[in-house]
Amino acid sequence: MSSQLLTGVRVSQALALPQVAHRELTMTLLIDDPERDSITVTRSGFQVGGAPHSVAHGPPTLGPHNDEILPEAGFTMNEIAA
């Protein structure tokens, strides 16, 4: 399967492939989130100079950067607060 083009494959199926585990391409991070205490993230598919794979932190939760980003998209602060 590794030499075949994967089409119509779900992310969960792709992450379950043996080569993903062999190359240690996923890791579980503890996060500060009221709905869950951990998240599985993907690592880079390559190493630079033999440095180990690392992920410093998970993605931001939904909304913490709204006040910074949405005005750049043309929203007013009143619209953001609504």
Distance (Å, whole) CA 28 – CA 23: 15
Residue 27 CB neighbour total at 10 angstroms: 13
Does residue 6 fall inside a structural domain?
no
Domain count, the chain: 1
Does residue 2 fall inside a structural domain?
no
Q: Tokens in use for 80?
A: 């953001």
Does residue 17 fall inside a structural domain?
yes
Q: What is the pLDDT of residues 23-77, one digit of tens each?
A: 888 888 888 778 888 888 888 777 777 777 677 777 777 788 889 999 999 999 9
Question: Which pTM was predicted?
Answer: 0.48
Domain that holds residue 26: 11-46+60-81
Does residue 32 fall inside a structural domain?
yes
Does residue 69 fall inside a structural domain?
yes
